[in-house]
A and B are shown apart, each in its own frame.
Chain A
C-alpha cells in the first residue's frame, strides 16, 4: 500500500495532534488538515482537573505545543468548526460552517462528551469537566463557593474532589460504589483511596445511587440520592462518565457501538481510521474489542495509526497505562485491573503510604498499581507484558 496523497484528521486534541505529528515524523509529505470543534489550539486535558483547576498553572501551560512547533508541522488547522457528517465511502467530511473536506485517508479523533443529567443544561451551578473552557468556568465558580458536591466515584470525580478540597471548599463525593474506583482497584486499594480522601476532609457519600439534582429558581441547590436524602450544594460537578463523540457519524457507513468499531489495525473502513478515546478496536492480544480513555493511549495509538496509514501493517496491542494524581498521591496503573483479581503488595508498604500492588487472575499478572512509587511501578510493567504475550 502506498501513502495517501492527503490526510484529514477530525479532532484537534491529544490523539489528533499526535497523529499529525507522527505522520510527519515518519516522513509523510502529503496534504495534512486537522479539523477541530473547539476554538483553541491543541491543549492537554489531564492538567484541567489538577493544576489548571487549582490555579497552580496559568491556562497557557496546558497547551500541547508552542505555535512555532505547530507551524513546523506544515498542517492546516481548521478550528472552531465541528464536523457534522462523514461519507466514509467518498471520504468526505461536512463541517458546521458548510465546509466540505475530502482526503484519501480520514482519521476520527473526536474523543468523548461528558454524560449529564436530563435537564442539567441551563441549570446554574452545575458543571462538567472535559474542556479548557469547562475548567475555567468551574474554577471561577469554586472560587466564590463554599460547598461542592462531586457526582462520580471514578478517576475524574475523585481528582476534582481532591483539587476542590485543596482549594479550601467543603467537598462531598457521591457515587454508587462502596469505595472510590472499587470496580477497578478492588476493595483493598479502593479502601486506601477512601481513607486518603476522608483523611483530607472529603465527605464520602458512597454506596447510594444519585437520582437527580435539586434546584430553586434555576439554580442547583443539591444532589438527590436514591435513599431520599439530598446533599446540599452551592456547586455540583457531574463526573459520572463520558460517551464517545460519534453523533456526527450517523449515516456515515461506519459501525458505531460504544465508539468507532475498528479492526486490529484501528481501521474503521477503507481509508478511515479511529484513534484515542473514541476508538474501539480489536486488541488481538486480549482477544476483545477495547476502548481506552487515557492520555498515553491517545499518543501511542496515534503513532500506530500513522504507521498503518503509511503502509506498515502491525496490529495495535498496547499494555494499557494511566495515572491519576490526588492530593500528594500519584497512582500509576499498567495493565488492566479488576475488582476480583488477587492483589499482593510487592514493593513498599501500604501503611507507609507508598507501595506497588500486583493484580493477578488465574495465575497471570494482569496489572500493577503504584501508589507514590512511579518508578518502581514502571519497572514491574514487564510482568504484565510477559503475562499477555506468553
Chain B
C-alpha cells in the first residue's frame, strides 16, 4: 500500500488522525495533515482506507500496488 496526501486540499478536519494516528498527524501551526508513514503495515490498511474514504477534503489517496 502506498499512501499520498494533498496538503493543499486538506481542510485540517483531523478525521484521519482520529482513525489512524499511527499514519497521520497534523501540523502544529495550521492543522494541515502530515503523513507519518507512506507504506503502512498490513494491520493498518483497513484503517487507512477508511481515512481515504471519509476525509472530507478527498485529500488522501491510497495506491494498492506498491
User: If A373-B31, A374-B31, A378-B17 touch, does A323 touch B57 (CB 8 Å cutoff)?
Assistant: no
Query: Are A65 and B58 within 8 A (Cβ)?
Result: yes
Q: Does B2 contact A (CB under 8 A)?
A: no
User: If A300-B54, A375-B26 touch, does A61 touch B11 (CB 8 Å cutoff)?
Assistant: no
Give chain B residues whose Cβ lies under 8 Å from the Cβ of A330: 11-12, 30-31
Q: How would residues 338 to 376 of chain A score, 1 for a CB under 8 Å from any chain B CB and 0 otherwise?
A: 000000000000000000000000000000000011111
Which chain A residue lies CB-closest to B58?
A: A64
- Near B by CB (< 8 A), chain A positions 314-342 give 321, 323, 325, 330, 332
Q: Does A54 contact B (CB under 8 A)?
A: no
Q: Within the assembled complex, what's the spacing in Å between the Cα atoms of A294 and B60? A: 20
A303 CB to closest chain B CB (Å) equals 7
Give chain A residues whose Cβ lies under 8 Å from the Cβ of B31: 330, 332, 373-375, 377-378
Query: Are A323 and B11 within 8 A (Cβ)?
Result: yes
A229 CB to closest chain B CB (Å) equals 37
Give chain A residues whose Cβ lies under 8 Å from the Cβ of B53: 18, 21-22, 25, 299, 303
Q: Does A219 contact B (CB under 8 A)?
A: no
Give chain B residues whose Cβ lies under 8 Å from the Cβ of A61: 9
Query: Are B58 and A299 within 8 A (Cβ)?
Result: no
Which of A303, A321, A375 has most chain B Cβ within 10 Å? A375
Q: Does A59 contact B (CB under 8 A)?
A: no
Give chain A residues whose Cβ lies under 8 Å from the Cβ of B54: 18, 296, 299-300, 303
Interface bin, chain A:
20 to 34
User: If A44-B57, A64-B58 touch, does A323 touch B30 (CB 8 Å cutoff)?
Assistant: no
Q: Within the assembled complex, what's the spacing in Å between the Cα atoms of A25 and B18? A: 19
Give chain B residues whose Cβ lies under 8 Å from the Cβ of A22: 53
Query: Are A374 and B12 within 8 A (Cβ)?
Result: yes
B45 CB to closest chain A CB (Å) equals 12
Give chain B residues whose Cβ lies under 8 Å from the Cβ of A176: none
Give chain B residues whose Cβ lies under 8 Å from the Cβ of A376: 28
Q: Does A232 contact B (CB under 8 A)?
A: no
- Near B by CB (< 8 A), chain A positions 224-260 give none
Which chain A residue lies CB-closest to B12?
A: A374
Q: Name 12 A/B residue pairs within 8 A (Cβ), A-sorted.
A: A21-B53, A22-B53, A25-B49, A44-B56, A65-B58, A296-B56, A323-B12, A330-B12, A372-B30, A374-B12, A378-B18, A378-B31
List B residues at the A interface (Cβ < 8 Å): 9, 11-15, 17-18, 26-28, 30-31, 49-50, 53-54, 56-58
